[in-house]
Amino acid sequence: MQAGIEAESKGRELVTFLVLAVLIWPVIACAVVGAYGLGFWLYFMLVRLPGPS
């Protein structure tokens, strides 16, 4: 009885890890990098004058 519960728990843990590692964290990483790039771009659009300096 105990071994079946332990095996089911390990299987659920593996599935949770794979979902986090393959789906969630890459999306979060891309969102963070994209937000940083967008913020940097908007900052320079507001601070710097267009055209040659």
Q: pLDDT digits over 1-53, tens only? A: 566 678 788 889 999 999 999 999 999 999 999 999 999 999 988 888 666 75
Global pTM value: 0.64
Structural domain harbouring 36: 1-53
Residue-level pLDDT at 42: 92
For the stretch 22-40, what's the b/e string if a residue is b when 16 or more beta carbons lie within 10 angstroms of its beta carbon? eeeeeeeeeeeeeeeeeee
What's the structural domain count of the chain? 1
Residue-level pLDDT at 1: 55
Residue-level pLDDT at 38: 97
Residue-level pLDDT at 45: 87
